Structure 1
Amino acid sequence: MDIKSQSYAVEVEDLTVAYDAKPVLWDIDLKIPKGKLMAVVGPNGAGKTTLIKAMLGLLTPVSGAVRFINGRDGIHRLKNRIGYVPQSGSVDWDFPATVLDVVLMGCYGKLGWIKRPRKADVELARKTLQKVGMEEYASRQISQLSGGQQQRVFLARALVQQAEVYFMDEPFKGVDAQTEKAIVLLLKELKEQGKTVVVVHHDLQTVADYFDWVTLINLRVVASGPVGEVFHEDNLKKTYRSTGTLLRSAM
């Protein structure tokens, strides 16, 4: 597929990120076309979460640039058009907030932190909770939810932003099969709406079923493109540095 003629949701150029002078990502070049549902896969320590955070501006790279929406803008000018679902383990679930409060936080990018949510924002939040099957838990404290329920709430928070590009860091981690199925349906619905969704993913066996685009990384980008073209055993061996057949079950 020739992607030169496509418009891009995200462009990463010569991105290098280091922790304590040790490179974690090295010379990353990546172009993500609009309207794709993309998995980012690689072994533990490959830099998947670091890549997401660097693209979001949550980490300062040693070098390189990240541009959004046809290369016109950086993250700081587009925060209300970018949605983010972090890893569940990175969230303070003891924070005293109800489910509805958390979802309404997704509106603050447009409202600012001073203005109170409007009636329309509350209605949108409740509608989104219904969409993820969590409407009946609106008044419950987030600490009282199961892992799968918490993940649904943070997905709802991202959805109310009505963003153009979504980043999700292992949204299926620790959730039950029913929640995973519900999340997949929502991701595909976002794609059908023309949204771009970038997902850090660890289950190789579901890549072809869930996604249409994939980026394989291990400190560097090994390959990126349509699943049917780049998600094959040779690239997986390069990514996971395996000379055996441990990845064949994923194909």
Structure 2
Amino acid sequence: MSAIRLRDARIGYGDAAVVQGVDLTVADGEAIAVLGSNGSGKTTLARGLLGLATVLGGEVEVLGAPVGRPRERGRIGYVPQRHTVSGAVPATVREVVGVGRLARLGPFGRLRPADRAAVQDAVAAVGLADRLGDPVASLSGGQQRRVLVARALAAEPELLVMDEPTAGVDAASQDALAAVLADVSATGTTLLVVTHETAALAGVLTRAVVVDHGRISYDGPLAEAGVEATTDGHHHPEGTGLAPSRGYRLDQPRVTTDGGR
């Protein structure tokens, strides 16, 4: 089974297509970068896989089912295109990461011991075990990005979608993220990373899809994608849980970091 399958897909907002005529197949366990210049449609493509943008035509299947089916939501992890998770309401690292378990809660909607253990393990996986009870607002920007990754990992996803995960964070946090993703990929989880900064994740991502004016202009090895397709030097945002049969497991070996930036 393919993790992702698109056939002549048209994806956009309202009735306006941003991505069109896209054919794409991603096998289980692949680690793929989605590249392109600002406004090319790469974020819209990823959002279409998550049901956050409208499928206007063609076929879009995720984990063997049409996109947006409720039963698939607990099998997909998502790290959005945001640099921080601070908000008006104070929240601890444990509370933010706990949100990632919502799709897997029991019939009474309460965290069970297994859920609490999953949260702790996800936080440990990103090297922040010593900050579990700390307010998220007290963390650096890079650490907050890692909290978002932990929130996604807490769901034990089969597919992990990340939007610009290395943008705006320092080199140490980028290295820590790369180490985490290498471990996650090694378990068989499919990775799809929207990015224009491939250097930090070059040891994890092996395939590249380049989106240009809403269409795929290149699909092949990351090393051959071309530097002009991978970066423009700036970052601008573009306008039920079933147990997975495979994917990230929180009992897998985890990297350790110094918990720094």
Q: TM-score, normalised to structure 1's length?
A: 0.82
Compared CA separation, residues 189 and 103, structure 1 to 2 (3 A): same
Identity of aligned residues (%): 35
Task: Tell me how many residue pairs correspond in the alignment.
Answer: 229
Q: 1:59 aligns with which of 38, 53, 56?
A: 53
Report the equivalent of 1:96. 90
Q: Name the aligned partner's letter for residue 145 of structure 1.
A: L
Gaps spanning 5+ residues in structure 2: where? 232-261
SS in 1 for 2:203: helix
Q: Name the aligned partner's letter for residue 28 of structure 1.
A: V
Query: Quick check: 1:202 aligned with 2:177?
Result: no
SS in 2 for 1:124: helix
Q: Is the 8 A contact 1:17 1:61 kept in 2?
A: yes
SS in 2 for 1:178: helix
Gaps spanning 5+ residues in structure 1: where? 1-6, 241-251
CA distance in 2, matches of 1:153, 1:206: 18
CA distance in 1, matches of 2:138, 2:173: 17
SS in 1 for 2:52: coil
Q: Name the aligned partner's letter for residue 105 of structure 2.
A: L
Counting only pairs closer than 5 Å after superposition, residues 22-171 of structure 1 correspond to structure 2 as: 22-69=16-63, 71-76=64-69, 77-89=71-83, 93-111=87-105, 114-171=108-165
Compared CA separation, residues 226 and 19, structure 1 to 2 (3 A): same
Query: Quick check: 1:212 aligned with 2:206?
Result: yes
CA distance in 2, matches of 1:20, 1:55: 16
CA distance in 2, matches of 1:95, 1:225: 44
Cα shift at 1:133: 1.7
CA distance in 2, matches of 1:201, 1:168: 8
Cα shift at 1:28: 1.4
Q: Is the 8 A contact 1:94 1:143 kept in 2?
A: no
CA distance in 2, matches of 1:121, 1:13: 37
SS in 2 for 1:175: coil
Compared CA separation, residues 113 and 24, structure 1 to 2 (3 A): farther
Any idea what the Cα deviations from partners look like across 1:15-45, whole Å, max 9, x if unmatched? 2234465532121111111111111110000
CA distance in 2, matches of 1:32, 1:72: 14
Q: Is the 8 A contact 1:142 1:150 kept in 2?
A: yes
71-80 vs 191-200, which moves further = 71-80
CA distance in 1, matches of 2:50, 2:106: 19
SS in 1 for 2:55: coil
SS in 2 for 1:78: helix
Q: Name the aligned partner's letter for residue 217 of structure 2.
A: V
Query: Quick check: 1:180 aligned with 2:185?
Result: no
SS in 1 for 2:32: strand
Report the equivalent of 1:222. 217
Q: Is the 8 A contact 1:39 1:207 kept in 2?
A: no
Cα shift at 1:224: 1.6
Q: Say which structure is richer in helix.
A: 1
Q: Name the aligned partner's letter for residue 107 of structure 1.
A: R
Q: TM-score, normalised to structure 2's length?
A: 0.79
Q: Name the aligned partner's letter for residue 150 of structure 2.
A: A
Compared CA separation, residues 183 and 89, structure 1 to 2 (3 A): closer
CA distance in 2, matches of 1:153, 1:198: 18
Report the equivalent of 1:248. none
CA distance in 2, matches of 1:79, 1:213: 25
Report the equivalent of 2:243. none
Q: Name the aligned partner's letter for residue 50 of structure 2.
A: L
Aligned-residue CA RMSD in angstroms? 2.4
Report the equivalent of 2:242. none
159-168 vs 144-153, which moves further = 144-153
Q: Is the 8 A contact 1:37 1:188 kept in 2?
A: no
